[in-house]
């Protein structure tokens, strides 16, 4: 086994240009999200690549012109050996003003040991590494005893549930490796959910009626929904401060569980008292919490705030949480992922990293969120492990260290061979 893995590692070094060619191919497709709905051609490229290296493939539209692709290389021993999911997203962050870039945005170049272009770090570099690894496995004639599954999903950049769609379609495994940016550290993550809080009046008043509702003796029982939302925001700030001193989780700085009032919309016209106001919030929570429990806490607290205000008591706030797309529904969920360092797959991954890097793999918590939490939600053990840094993700002149990308490819090969050739415990 060790000689096979050494041969694979040597091939990565000798054929580094092939890895970079695959990455260059992927970068050429401008799969920017938003606006999204632009991944069909790159997914066809990936599906054809998988078929050439003898994966069985499946593809389906999550949204029009945005398909997922899943490839499976069946193991020789089936259910008795560990199966593995390799997961990554093919969409990339929006670019903004391209004039700020000093390198081509979608025509990857290399210089000074780095590859440059939109998505090289987040996360087409990892996708190219996986495809190249599959190619090497095929060319070396290496059979795995357990099933190997590759998921190329859409929508991660805008909270679209590409990975969830794979799970809903029935794809599962004994362990899932999410190759999102982690600087080749093994990460878990906190969770994120967005939601809308709406304050709505039962009546609509002309602007001229304001003088009759703002003082004793005015005679009109009414209020501006915008002004009442200010009480809701103050209540959210109180809860956020309470969380900061009562909750904590290893690997996160104090107060990382935030409630961000991100967008506010309200009113209809200057000639009216605002009869509706909507607040879009982003909530970050810890890995040992669920979005259901956190949103329940928020609703309970805000309802108590409303009960203390006579008008809000009669016109209580309404809540809508989550969603499958920031584009389609103005809502998203990224479930949390607790890292189980005692899981045998994590142990194997650490050993693979040690073998390639000659240093122990660092473990910790991601600074951002990925699709990894969807696997935990589905009862599939998982971890985040990928090349590239969060600082480079979404950046102008985005780049990835080529040496790190090659070492990640070697680690991935070592881990796939080890895990998929290990009997289930």
Q: Where are the beta strands (DSSP E) in 217-269?
A: 259-266
Say which of 91, 371, 377, 392 is annotated catalytic.
Answer: 91
The number of angstroms, rounded, from the C-alpha of 394 to the middle of its chain's C-alpha atoms is 13
The span from the CA of 287 to the CA of 188, in Å, is: 8
- Check if 156 is active-site: yes
The number of angstroms, rounded, from the C-alpha of 110 to the middle of its chain's C-alpha atoms is 27
- Check if 122 is active-site: no
Is the four-CA dihedral 91, 93, 95, 96 of positive or negative sign?
positive
**Do residues 308 and 349 touch, judged by C-beta distance below 8 A?**
no
CA end-to-end span of the chain: 20
407 Cβ contact partners less than 8 Å away, ≥ 6 residues apart: 184, 356, 357, 387
Long-range contacts of residues 39-44, Cβ cutoff 8 Å, at least 24 apart: 39/65, 39/66, 39/67, 39/90, 39/91, 39/154, 40/65, 40/66, 40/67, 42/90, 43/67, 43/68, 43/69, 43/90, 43/152, 43/154
348 Cβ contact partners less than 8 Å away, ≥ 6 residues apart: 415, 418, 419, 422
Sheet harboring 109-111: ordered strands across? 109-111, 114-116, 399-401
Give the tokens for residue 424. 């289930």
Say which of 66, 156, 157, 174 is annotated catalytic.
Answer: 156
Write out the catalytic residue numbers.
Answer: 91, 156
């Amino acid at each position: 086994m060790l000689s096979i893995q050494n041969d694979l590692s040597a091939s990565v070094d000798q054929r580094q240009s092939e890895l970079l060619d695959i990455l260059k191919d992927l970068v050429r497709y401008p799969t920017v999200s938003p606006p999204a709905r632009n991944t069909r051609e790159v997914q066809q490229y990936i599906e054809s690549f998988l078929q050439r290296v003898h994966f069985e493939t499946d593809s389906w539209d999550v949204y029009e012109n945005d398909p997922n692709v899943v490839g499976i290389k069946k193991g020789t021993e089936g259910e008795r050996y560990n199966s593995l999911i390799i997961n990554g997203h093919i969409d990339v962050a929006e670019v903004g003003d391209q004039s700020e870039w000093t390198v081509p945005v979608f025509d990857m170049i290399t210089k000074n040991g780095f590859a440059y272009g939109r998505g090289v770090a987040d996360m087409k570099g990892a996708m190219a590494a996986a495809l190249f690894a599959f190619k090497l496995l095929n060319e070396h004639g290496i059979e795995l005893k357990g099933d190997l599954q590759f998921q190329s999903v859409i929508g991660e950049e805008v909270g679209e549930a590409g990975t969830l769609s794979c799970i809903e379609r029935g794809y599962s495994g004994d362990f899932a490796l999410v190759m999102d940016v982690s600087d080749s550290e093994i990460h878990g993550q906190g969770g994120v959910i967005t939601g809308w809080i709406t304050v709505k009046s039962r009546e609509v008043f002309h602007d001229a009626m304001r003088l009759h509702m703002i003082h004793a003796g005015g005679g009109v029982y009414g209020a501006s929904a915008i002004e009442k939302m200010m009480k809701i925001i103050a209540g959210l700030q109180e809860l956020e401060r309470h969380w900061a001193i009562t909750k904590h989780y290893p690997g996160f700085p104090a107060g990382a569980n935030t409630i961000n009032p991100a967008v506010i919309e309200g009113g209809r016209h200057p000639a009216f008292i605002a009869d509706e106001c909507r607040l879009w919030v982003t909530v970050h929570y810890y890995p040992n919490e669920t979005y259901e429990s956190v949103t329940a806490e928020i609703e309970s607290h805000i309802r108590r705030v409303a009960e203390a205000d006579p008008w809000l008591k009669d016109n209580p706030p309404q809540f809508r949480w989550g969603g499958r797309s920031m584009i389609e529904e103005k809502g998203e969920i990224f479930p949390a992922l607790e890292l189980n360092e005692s899981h045998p797959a994590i142990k194997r991954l650490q050993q693979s990293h040690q073998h390639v890097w000659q240093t122990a793999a660092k473990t910790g918590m991601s600074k951002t969120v990925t699709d990894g939490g969807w696997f935990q939600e589905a009862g599939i053990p998982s971890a985040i492990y990928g090349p590239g840094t969060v600082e480079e993700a979404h950046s102008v002149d985005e780049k990835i260290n080529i040496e790190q990308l090659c070492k990640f490819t070697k680690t991935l090969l070592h881990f796939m061979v080890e895990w998929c050739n290990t009997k289930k415990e």
